[in-house]
């Protein structure tokens, strides 16, 4: 693999992945195709300006002409491009169906035309829905709860059908919640860190006992590289960290690291259709030779330090969110 098309590489995981891959593979050239939605930010990869092994293209994966132009130029694809925030999907689901399903279709069609050698489609553990006890394996049925996870389910089912029907070498990952540098400050961890820095309330949904399995984003990048190189075409790989924590525990750990009082915790009404717990088995990706290197405490410490040091990055984004914040305020009070 010499030339890789990464879609959605100006977002949180995509930008961390691109940085990781260029460092790890000295011969690799990456084209980053990103529509720069509210979540896309060229600042996330500013350090790569002028790097001859990196090309940025501002474009939409739903546009067949743009996709055709770049697909003819690469031998493998990693599709991160998506609408990703559950709350935004509750507010307005249309863009989720468009990018997460139709966008995946446009990419798959072009990949088929151009005999792409590997097509890694990034999905999520949210496609399984909630599980009270135990953990989902890759063979469990999809039971999504939100317009986000339903759209992600549609996209990955389509991707898998291109393997079965056309033999396109598709690989799918279903990862747990990521955290780390460059995550947009409206997802739980960066929202709460940045609010706490400003002594603003931390709006925790419902009883705060919903559980997520927190994966540090560098561990995710390593796992994706491994699946891309060594995964078996047509297979699905869960990625999880074994860092299952209740939201209230995550919240208290942020406050403790920042030396802020627990009085900032502000319970609000619950999210509609709020999944109680996510949990996946990771035997399959472990058999490829991966294990997460960061435990929750270490990942959290690095993440909080990054947001403290990079205030200008997140302040600019928080100021841009007025319309969404208005809806969020109405929804959660
Ligand atoms: P993000 O919201 O930070 O970034 C998404 C990126 O996609 C942005 O740069 C945005 O501009 C781009 N994009 C959106 N629509 C596009 C379009 N039509 N054409 C081209 N680019 C477009 O998301 P993230 O958290 O980095 O997630 C990346 C992928 O990983 C997504 O597919 C998401 O479903 C999946 N995922 C995320 C997590 C997580 O915890 N963040 C966990 C599991 C899976
Ligand atoms: P989020 O970061 O939106 O990820 P996801 O919903 O995809 O798992 O939310 C993580 C958890 O935090 C989820 O249980 C919802 C909860 N949450 C809050 O309690 N308050 C908030 O303001 C946000 C954004 C999330």
Residue nearest to atom 17 of ligand 2 (CA): 188
Outline which parts of the chain fall under CATH 3.40.50.720: 3-179+214-239
Say which residue the tokens 């590489």 belong to.
9
CB atoms within 10 A of CB 259: 7
Q: Where in the chain is the domain with CATH 3.90.25.10?
A: 188-211+243-273+298-332
Q: Which atom of ligand 1 is nearest to the CA of 173?
A: 44
Token duo for residue 176: 């747990």
Q: In Å, how far are 70, 124, 171, 257, 293 from 4, measured between CA atoms?
A: 10, 21, 15, 38, 26
- Look at residues 32, 80, 21 and name the one whose alpha carbon lies nearest to residue 56: 32
* Atom 7 of ligand 2, nearest CA residue: 86
Q: Does domain 188-211+243-273+298-332 have CATH number 3.90.25.10?
A: yes
The rounded Å distance from CA 40 to ligand 1 centre is 8
* Terminal alpha carbon distance of the chain: 50
- Atom index in ligand 1 nearest the CA of residue 36 equals 11
Atom of ligand 1 nearest to the CA of 38: 11
Atom 14 of ligand 2 has which residue's CA nearest to it? 210
What's the whole-model pTM score? Answer: 0.98
Helix (H, G, I), strand (E, B) or coil at 185: coil
CB 236 within 8 Å of CB 175: no
pLDDT in tens, the chain (333 residues): 699 999 999 999 999 999 999 999 999 999 999 999 999 999 999 999 999 999 999 999 999 999 999 999 999 999 999 999 999 999 999 999 999 999 999 999 999 999 999 999 999 999 999 999 999 999 999 999 999 999 999 999 999 999 999 999 999 999 999 999 999 999 999 999 999 999 999 999 999 999 999 999 999 999 999 999 999 999 999 999 999 999 999 999 999 999 999 999 999 999 999 999 999 999 999 999 999 999 999 999 999 999 999 999 999 999 887 778 788 888 887
How far apart are the C-alpha atoms of 300 and 260, rounded to whole Å?
A: 15
**Cα–Cα distance between 117 and 32 in angstroms, integer?**
18
Confirm or reject CATH 3.40.50.720 for domain 3-179+214-239, answering yes or no: yes
């Amino acid at each position: 693999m010499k030339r890789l098309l990464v879609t959605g590489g100006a977002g949180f995981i995509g930008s961390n992945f691109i940085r990781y891959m260029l460092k790890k593979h000295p011969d690799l050239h990456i084209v980053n195709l990103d529509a720069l939605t509210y979540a896309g930010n060229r600042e996330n990869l500013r350090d790569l300006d002028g790097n001859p092994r990196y090309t940025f293209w501002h474009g939409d994966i739903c546009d067949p002409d743009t996709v055709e132009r770049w697909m003819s130029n690469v031998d493998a694809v990693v599709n991160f491009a998506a609408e990703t925030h559950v709350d935004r999907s509750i507010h307005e689901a249309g863009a989720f169906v468009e990018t997460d399903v139709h966008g995946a279709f446009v990419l798959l069609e072009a990949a088929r035309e151009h005999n792409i050698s590997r097509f890694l489609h990034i999905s999520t553990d949210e496609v399984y829905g909630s599980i009270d006890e135990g953990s989902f394996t890759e063979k469990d049925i999809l039971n999504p709860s939100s317009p986000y996870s339903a759209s992600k389910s549609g996209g990955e089912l389509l991707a898998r059908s291109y393997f079965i029907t056309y033999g396109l070498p598709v690989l799918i990952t279903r990862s747990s919640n990521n955290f780390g540098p460059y995550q947009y400050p409206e997802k739980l961890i960066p929202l709460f860190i940045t609010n706490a820095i400003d002594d603003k309330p931390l709006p925790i949904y419902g009883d705060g006992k919903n559980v997520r399995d927190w994966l540090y984003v560098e561990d995710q990048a390593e796992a994706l590289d491994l699946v891309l190189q060594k995964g078996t075409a047509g297979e699905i790989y869960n990625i999880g960290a074994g860092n299952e924590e209740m939201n209230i525990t995550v919240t208290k750990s942020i406050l403790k690291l920042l030396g802020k009082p627990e009085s900032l915790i502000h319970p609000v009404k619950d999210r509609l259709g709020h999944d109680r717990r996510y949990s996946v088995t990771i035997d399959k990706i472990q058999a490829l030779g991966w294990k997460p290197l960061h435990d929750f405490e270490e990942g959290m410490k690095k993440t909080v330090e990054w947001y403290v040091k990079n205030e200008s990055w997140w302040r600019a984004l928080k100021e841009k969110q007025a319309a969404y914040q208005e809806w969020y305020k109405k929804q959660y009070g």
